[in-house]
Homo-oligomer: A and B are copies of this chain.
Amino acid sequence: MKMKPKLSIVTLGVRDLDRSRAFYGALGWECTGDDEGIAFYDVGGVQLALYPREALAEDVGQASAGDGFTGITLAHNEPSKGDVDRAFAEFLAAGATEIKAPVEVFWGGYSGYIADPDGHLWEIAYNPFTDLT
């Protein structure tokens, strides 16, 4: 039998756990587990975890150095363009860095990008074809 297609946890390596907890908390996202130096958020069927970057690299067994484009983006979808604008503003108010203001995009949606305190990229998007909210 083949394995179930399942993403259980996305772990973001962070340089300052308190700062990252404050950032995601400011969005109104409630920590659902917070001990042994790792914070979990239930983000709709999957867990988002915040864990110190050095410790995460050590767990993997790799050097923690790395820079440039990570090659991974996370998307938070909203049910309308207006909701994207509102959520985008909430991310900025929480301390996110604006990367790309929301615009109409080639595939027919509306989206922008922010970076969290460690540079992890979130796309804030409205998809008129599929509801992923």
B-binding residues in A (CB < 8 A): 2-13, 27-30, 33, 36, 41-48, 53, 56-57, 59-78, 86-87, 90, 99-100, 105, 107, 113, 118, 120-121, 123, 125, 130, 132-133
Q: Are A66's CB and B75's CB within 8 A?
A: no
Docked pose: A76 CA to B46 CA in angstroms: 10
Docked pose: A68 CA to B60 CA in angstroms: 13
Min CB distance A77 to B, Å, is 4
Q: How many copies does the complex hold?
A: 2
Docked pose: A62 CA to B100 CA in angstroms: 10
Instruction: Name the CB-closest residue of B to A68.
Output: B66
Q: Are A71's CB and B8's CB within 8 A?
A: no
Docked pose: A57 CA to B100 CA in angstroms: 12
Q: Are A9's CB and B62's CB within 8 A?
A: no
Docked pose: A34 CA to B24 CA in angstroms: 32
Q: Are B57's CB and A65's CB within 8 A?
A: no
